[in-house]
Amino acid sequence: MTQLYPTAAVLIIGDEVLSGRTQDTNLNTIARFLGALGIDLLEARTVGDRTEQIVEALNALRAVHDYVFTTGGIGPTHDDITADAVAAAFGVPLLEHPEAVAILERRYGDEFNAARRRMTRVPEGGTLIANPVTDAPGFQIGDVFVMAGVPKIMTAMLEDVAPRLRRGAVVHARTLRVSGVGEGAVADILTAAARAEREVSFGSYPFGHGSVGEIGTNLVLRGRDEARVEAASRGLLAVLGQAGIATETVKP
């Protein structure tokens, strides 16, 4: 893939997501975070707590994308195997990081047991990602950022990750809300608009299916050149108006 902007992938690690016990929200948080930095999130994978599966997915993703963000599996229990898998993927040893040891010694004192010591292990060459919530750090190795699965901690870790990333031009969005007709009624107009302006992507996201209430669709225009997105949005709004289709512009 040739990309003008940095690209990224997310690797979600955890049996609890695949069993349905947990509804993942980290992908959405990371997607918004990367969007604000102008980095294109192109792919995500979810795997279970299996070393082989993690190694394979991580190596596939980091071969293609500028950045990979992982979530989950860095706690103190036996099913937390992400650090081991990342070290294996990079072919380097997993070592206790002195700075991480110091941080957790401070936090736990006499209760700094073997299980908690597991959380200080970082693949050789890795640097820490600060965890202002519970102290146990994530880590960066190469262009891979290894973060916690607990949403509150993961979100906090992104603060420390942001300054390390190369930014791209931000993608701008405009939403046109079409009410009273389904997306099949506006598809031809949308297709024509998309053909006429290749620098802007046109998405259609219907709402209110089959329900008694309002139906309609959100037309979302996205692109890096804000003036072109704005112009395409005005143009589409005009054409929809001419076709007698009620449309309002809304916050993206």
Q: Of the listed pieces 82-90, 162-170, 182-190, 243-251, which binds its own copies according to CB under 8 A?
A: 182-190
**Torsions phi, psi for 125 (to 5 deg):** 95, -5
Indicate which single residue of 92, 125, 155, 183 sits in contact with its own copies (rule: CB under 8 A).
Answer: 183
Indicate which single residue of 169, 187, 243, 250 sits in contact with its own copies (rule: CB under 8 A).
Answer: 187
What Å distances lie between residue 43 and 12, 13, 168, CA to CA? 11, 14, 17
Residue 43 Cβ vs its own copies, minimum distance, rounded to whole Å: 6
Q: Of the listed pieces 72-80, 90-98, 139-147, 240-248, which binds its own copies according to CB under 8 A?
A: 72-80
Site for its own copies in 18-37 (CB under 8 A): 18-25, 27-29, 31-32, 34-35
The contact mask relative to its own copies for 84-123 (x = CB under 8 A, - = no) is ------------------------x--x-xxxx-xx----
Residue 22 Cβ vs its own copies, minimum distance, rounded to whole Å: 7
Which is closer to its own copies, CB of 182 or CB of 235?
Answer: 182
Q: Of the listed pieces 76-84, 88-96, 122-130, 238-246, which binds its own copies according to CB under 8 A?
A: 76-84
Report if residue 134 touches its own copies, rule: CB under 8 A: yes
- How far apart CA 174 and CA 128 sit, in angstroms, is 38
